[in-house]
């Protein structure tokens, strides 16, 4: 099946993966021009279903720092890599000069089925200081009823001090705000039910109730939704291949994050490498 995939790198700073001669699957902006206050980082958008419906949202007006599909850790040694205002227990959400940047360094491999990239996560407070070195692998596969994207990030701490990775639940006690990791911001209408119970979320636990999905650890969850105009339906299956994680879910945005931690910080020791391995499958419903 991989022979059907194609790679278009004719646009500076952007790669597009397609299927056959004229079908686009997803586009990766690796040299973005998004504002610094949105924690500039590479992102995937637009991303399409197998039938050509757009499934991602870039810079929505409620949270402009949600960039299609992107990988981030909310706070790394106080640097905001998520974007938007930073939350602190003493003064809540405030705009602060603390936004980190992910910078594309080079391609290690660039084929239709697999992209391998090196990135540097830059400390906003110390010029030229690299907090994280990342090796990112993006794999595409064509399936019988759709297609899949596997996102693997190897996060390396090149420094001599531990990296303390926080979310706003662990950092400031903001209950339930444990968003971090790989985030997917979907097209706005995807999970709008309009009285149709077949448009829903489904967790590994067997429930579709938000209270039983948000913040609970599981290996996977699914969204079964519909898009405007074509009225076609798509099933998105999110899988954490690294093991169970406490999912962050917001169906009304809609947004899901593969959160690596919740109540306690994630500590990456000096010289340590941590791997995050996730899959998203976009299938006809």
* Residues of the chain above pLDDT 70, percent: 99
User: Does residue 63 sit within a domain?
Assistant: no
Confidence at 54, pLDDT banded by 50, 70, 90: very high
Quote the CA–CA distance of 218 and 82 in Å, as a whole number: 23
User: Does residue 220 sit within a domain?
Assistant: yes
3 pLDDT more than 80: no
User: Does residue 155 sit within a domain?
Assistant: yes
- pLDDT 10s digits, 222-247: 999 999 999 999 999 999 999 999 99
User: Does residue 275 sit within a domain?
Assistant: yes
pLDDT at 172: 86
State the total domains in the chain.
1
Sign for the pseudo-dihedral over CA of 257, 263, 268, 273: negative
**Residue 252: Cβ-neighbour burial (10 angstroms; 0-12, 13-18, 19+):** exposed
Quote the CA–CA distance of 34 and 11 in Å, as a whole number: 17
Confidence at 158, pLDDT banded by 50, 70, 90: very high
- pLDDT 10s digits, 173-205: 899 999 999 999 999 999 999 999 999 999 999
Structure token pair of residue 36: 């610094």
What DSSP element (H or E) covers 171?
helix 168-172
User: Does residue 48 sit within a domain?
Assistant: no
- pLDDT 10s digits, 102-135: 999 999 999 999 999 999 999 998 888 999 999 9
Count H helices, E strands: the chain? 1, 24
pLDDT at 52: 97
Averaged pLDDT, 79-100: 96
1 pLDDT more than 80: no
Closest CA to 35 of 61, 64, 76: 64
pLDDT at 262: 96
User: Does residue 119 sit within a domain?
Assistant: yes
User: Does residue 277 sit within a domain?
Assistant: yes
Q: Which domain holds residue 242?
A: 73-183+191-284
User: Does residue 30 sit within a domain?
Assistant: no
pLDDT at 93: 96
pLDDT at 128: 80
Task: Provide, for the chain, the percentages of residues in helix, strand and coil under a 3-state DSSP scheme, each rounded to the nearest 5.
Answer: 5, 50, 45
């Amino acid at each position: 099946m991989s022979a059907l995939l194609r790679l278009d790198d004719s646009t500076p700073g952007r790669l597009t993966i397609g299927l056959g001669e004229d079908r686009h699957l997803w586009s990766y902006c690796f040299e973005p021009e998004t504002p610094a206050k949105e924690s500039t980082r590479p992102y995937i958008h637009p991303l399409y279903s197998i039938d050509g419906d757009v499934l991602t949202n870039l810079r929505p007006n409620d949270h402009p720092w949600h960039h299609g599909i992107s990988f981030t850790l909310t706070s790394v040694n106080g640097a905001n890599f998520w974007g938007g205002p930073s939350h602190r227990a003493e003064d809540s959400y405030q705009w602060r000069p603390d936004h980190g940047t992910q910078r594309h360094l080079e391609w290690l491999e660039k084929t239709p089925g697999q992209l391998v990239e090196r990135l540097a996560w830059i400390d906003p407070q110390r010029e030229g200081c690299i907090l994280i070195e990342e090796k990112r692998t993006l794999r595409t596969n064509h399936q019988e009823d759709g297609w899949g994207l596997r996102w693997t990030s190897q996060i390396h701490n090149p420094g001599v001090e531990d990296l303390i990775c926080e979310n706003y639940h662990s950092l400031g006690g903001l209950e339930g705000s444990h968003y971090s990791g790989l985030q997917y911001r979907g097209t706005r209408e995807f999970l709008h039910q309009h009285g149709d119970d077949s448009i829903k979320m489904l967790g590994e636990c067997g429930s579709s109730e938000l209270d039983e999905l948000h913040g609970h650890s599981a290996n996977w969850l699914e969204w079964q939704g519909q898009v405007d105009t074509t009225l076609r339906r798509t099933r998105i299956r999110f899988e954490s291949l690294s093991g169970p994680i406490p999912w962050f879910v917001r169906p009304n945005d809609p947004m899901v994050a593969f959160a690596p931690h919740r109540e306690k910080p994630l500590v990456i020791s000096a010289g340590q490498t941590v791997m995050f391995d996730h899959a998203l499958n976009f299938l006809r419903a």
